[in-house]
Amino acid sequence: MADFTSWADVRTAIKNAIANHASGDPCVGSFSCDGVTITYKSYDDLKKLYALTFELEGLDNAGSRQSRTSYGQPRRGKW
């Protein structure tokens, strides 16, 4: 299992695992980042994991609702 500090590093490792699989290595392993460990057992798992890293990175960077700023104005009355 490899442990990473950023999702970009995990994506690079996934690309390397896909390249290694193309050259004949078995497609089995796991990655860990920010306390999340994901195991893959096939090429399809690697593709899904690659897409999942973008979603998990987005969740990490989303922030809280209190830190968001809204520039819109609420509607009042009928228009």
7 lies in a domain?
A: yes
66 lies in a domain?
A: no
- Distance CA(32)–CA(76), nearest Å, equals 49
64 lies in a domain?
A: no
20 lies in a domain?
A: yes
Residue-wise pLDDT for 60-78, tens only, equals 777 666 666 667 766 676 6
46 lies in a domain?
A: yes
Q: Could you count the other beta carbons within 10 Å of the beta carbon of residue 48?
A: 12
State the amino acid at position 24 in one-letter form. G
65 lies in a domain?
A: no
78 lies in a domain?
A: no
Q: Which domain holds residue 12?
A: 2-58
The three-state DSSP-derived secondary structure of the chain is: CEEECCHHHHHHHHHHHHHHHHCCCCCCEEEEECCEEEEECCHHHHHHHHHHHHHHHHHHHCCCHHHCCCCCCCCCCCC
Residue-wise pLDDT for 19-72, tens only, equals 988 888 888 888 887 787 888 899 899 899 899 888 888 887 776 666 666 677
**Single pTM value for the model:** 0.68
Model confidence at 3, in pLDDT bands (50, 70, 90)?
confident
Specify the number of domains making up the chain: 1
